[in-house]
Chain A
Amino acid sequence: MMDKKIKNVFREGAISSEFIANSIAKHQVKTNIGAHNIFLGQVRADELDGKQVEAIEYTAHVEMANITFHEIREETFEKFDLTCMHIYHSIGLVSAGEICLFVFVSSPRRKQVFKALEFVVEEIKAKVPIFGKEIFEDTTHQWKVNQ
């Protein structure tokens, strides 16, 4: 099932547990699915020179990012036998411990979802123009770079 329309992947602020739970619940009617796999990216309280990261403020080239997310979706559907896929990424401020990325893939069988999820997450990290500013407790900041 491939959706040709370019969706807005971004959600303002953290992605709540309720949102994730609802998303799972919505799939109970899709009884051809036998396996879900979920990735949750969480803001880590990294330490630098004794200061802790309190939050990450995400900005993005939103238009280009949504197109890139769409291309990643299409490529993933081509590569793997998936029933559906959902991606949500935060924009704006997300505190340490909160969720900033939610990727949800579903398939009739388990093997596809393990491979597909890793592929999607790695592609997002490498290709989507999103920028995270790590804000420390003393309000100083540094720009995050994906490894």
Chain B
Amino acid sequence: MELQIKYYGMLAEISQCDEELLNFDGTTGADLLHFLIQKYPSFATKDIKVAQYNQIIDLGNKITSSEIALLPPFSGG
């Protein structure tokens, strides 16, 4: 399926874009992360959270939204 992936913070710096459309044939959040590490190897060293519908998912959960956010560690406040 075609996913719109949005990158935030240091992840957007690595991908050099805020968002992109990618074809993804996996199922879970972990599959997606694995797929993106092929494209951006340095993602492997980062602590990344995957979010859909404005909620962080467990990596074992299924990707059901066509819009996914990739979030690095938070540093608000």
A residues near B (Cβ < 8 Å) are: 41, 58-61, 63-65, 67, 89, 100-101, 121, 124-133, 143-146
Contact = CB atoms under 8 A, between A and B. Distances in A.
Contact of B74 (A63, A67, A131): A131
Contacts of A124: 76-77
Contacts of B54: 61, 63-64, 67
Contacts, number: 68
B9 interface: yes
A61 B18 CA distance: 11
25 contacts: A41-B77, A58-B76, A59-B12, A60-B76, A61-B6, A61-B8, A101-B76, A101-B77, A125-B74, A125-B77, A126-B74, A127-B74, A129-B51, A129-B69, A129-B71, A129-B76, A130-B75, A130-B76, A131-B9, A131-B75, A133-B9, A143-B10, A144-B75, A145-B75, A146-B74
Question: Which of B12, B54, B69, B76 has the most C-beta atoms of chain A within 10 angstroms of its own C-beta?
Answer: B76
A69 to B, nearest CB: 10
7 pairs of A and B residues whose beta carbons are closest in the complex: A130-B76, A131-B9, A144-B75, A132-B75, A64-B54, A143-B10, A41-B77
Contact of B9 (A59, A65, A125, A126): A59
Interface in B62-77: 69, 71-77
A133 B10 CA distance: 8
A129 B55 CA distance: 10
Given A61-B69, A64-B54, A64-B69, A131 B8 contact: yes
Given A131-B8, A131-B10, A133-B9, A61 B71 contact: yes
B51 A143 contact: no
Given A61-B51, A129-B8, A100 B77 contact: yes
B76 A132 contact: yes
